[in-house]
Amino acid sequence: MEATREILHGMIDNIDSKNFGIIRHILIGFIPEDEPYPDEIEAIKRSEASIAEFGTVGIDDIDWKQ
């Protein structure tokens, strides 16, 4: 039997939900990772530097009523 998307979807539909974590872990290994663009890498570096210098703000500390 040839594995097709339809067959794989059907198999996943029959997996007990307690095993979803295991299946996700296995499947994620087959998904190609995108390489970030240079501007994305620069943005990540800036955000990491900002967090290192100023820290972060907890969700409970945000004034949502502004």
Q: Do residues 1 and 7 make contact, with C-beta atoms less than 8 angstroms apart?
A: yes
CA 50 to chain centre: 22
d(CA 27, CA 58): 33
- Full-prediction pTM beyond 0.75? no
The one-digit pLDDT tens for each residue of the chain (66 residues) are: 688 989 988 998 999 999 999 999 999 888 888 888 999 999 999 999 999 999 998 888 888 887
CA–CA separation, 59 and 55 (whole Å): 13
Write down the domain spans for the chain: 5-55
Alpha helices in 1-66 (DSSP H): 5-13, 20-28, 38-54
Write the DSSP symbol of residue 29.
Answer: T
Name the token pair of 27.
């499947």
